[in-house]
């Protein structure tokens, strides 16, 4: 487990500090005004992906020129129906920041060379294969606040496993957090999560499928809200679900957050499972 250096509660996220996770949230100070989450220091793999204005999302650094994010983060109109025929936008990418105002400092921005959507992105639904790779123009010099995650060597998105997610997503005030927050979340039972969204996916009156609800399949996994009702929310999509291997201490990217609308409404958040997409990722980025 990681031990936090300083822990103050905010709106939504996970709990991270220097070199270890902390899963004991009972010891964290909690504000009655907040929805959940902990303020954090630098998270070296965390990336902010922006299309301007309030349209921001997360990303995970996986190499000296590569960022993995949710494909939907690259479109102003995120639904398959709205974006049909439109190419992805080139986002602005920021590394090593914890406060949104740091986007104003140009040295935090990494220039983008190209974006590569998964070839089957939104193939049959708004949430299918919700992944994109962002290639940076220049190689990064790794340092304390810019370090990549390991890609998984085995399946880490296993039921009852804990990991962390970080982001600037919506909080109690229904706007993006100014400060980076983290949450420690648990991988949920897949069948229960899948059934929950199946039940939601049909309107009882007209039986029309709700496009805002994901079809959870075997390429995905879910996490569930904490007992304090903390969860990810709008603006957290693209963030990595990070698990620390107890045997070697390395931090692995188990998934990329896709369905970030859970907030305090839905119990489950939904992620693209990295092991299902490793062939595409490795064939695109090459040896690292």
Domains of the chain: 25-285 (2.40.10.10)
pTM: 0.85
Alpha helices, DSSP H, located in 32-175: 80-83
Among residues 223, 212, 228, 231, the alpha carbon closest in space to that of 170 is found at: 231
- 104 pLDDT above the threshold of 80: yes
Confidence of residue 36 (pLDDT cuts 50, 70, 90): low
Residue 119, C-beta contacts closer than 8 angstroms, at least 6 positions apart:
129, 280
CA 256-258-263 angle, to 5 degrees, is 115
- Rounded-to-integer distance, Cα 212 and Cα 215, Å: 10
What is the overall mean pLDDT for the chain? Answer: 83
- The predicted-structure confidence for 247-285, as pLDDT tens digits, reads as follows 999 999 999 999 998 888 889 999 999 999 999 999 999
Highest mean pLDDT among 7-21, 26-40, 192-206: 192-206
- The number of CA neighbours under 13 Å toward the Cβ of 125 is 15
197, 222 in Cβ contact below 8 A? Answer: no
Burial class (CB in 10 A: 0-12, 13-18, 19+), 264: middle
pLDDT of the residue at 78: 78
């Amino acid at each position: 487990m990681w031990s936090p250096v300083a822990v103050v509660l905010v709106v939504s996220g996970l709990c991270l500090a220097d070199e270890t996770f902390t899963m004991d949230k009972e010891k964290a100070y909690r504000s009655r005004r907040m929805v959940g989450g902990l303020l954090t220091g630098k998270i070296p793999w965390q990336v902010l992906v922006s299309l301007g204005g309030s349209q921001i999302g997360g990303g995970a650094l996986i190499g000296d020129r590569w960022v993995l994010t949710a494909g939907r983060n690259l479109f102003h109109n995120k639904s398959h129906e709205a974006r049909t025929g439109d190419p992805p936008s080139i986002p602005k990418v920021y590394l090593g920041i914890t406060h949104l105002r740091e986007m104003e400092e140009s040295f935090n921005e990494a220039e983008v060379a190209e974006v590569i959507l998964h070839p089957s992105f939104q193939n049959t639904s708004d949430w299918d294969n919700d992944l994109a790779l962002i290639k940076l123009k220049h190689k990064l010099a790794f340092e304390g606040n810019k370090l990549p995650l390991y890609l998984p060597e085995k399946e880490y998105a296993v039921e009852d496993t804990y990991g962390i997610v970080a982001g600037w997503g919506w909080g109690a005030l229904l706007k993006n957090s100014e400060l980076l927050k983290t949450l420690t979340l648990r991988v949920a039972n897949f069948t229960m999560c899948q059934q929950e969204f199946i039940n939601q996916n049909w309107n009882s009156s007209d039986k029309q499928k709700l496009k805002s609800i994901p079809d959870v399949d075997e390429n995905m996994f879910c996490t569930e809200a904490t007992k304090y009702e903390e969860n990810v929310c709008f603006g957290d999509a693209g963030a990595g679900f990070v698990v620390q291997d107890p045997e070697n201490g390395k931090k692995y990217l188990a998934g990329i957050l896709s369905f970030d609308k859970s907030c305090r409404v839905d119990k489950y958040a939904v992620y693209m499972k990295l092991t299902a997409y490793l062939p595409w990722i490795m064939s695109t980025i090459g040896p690292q």
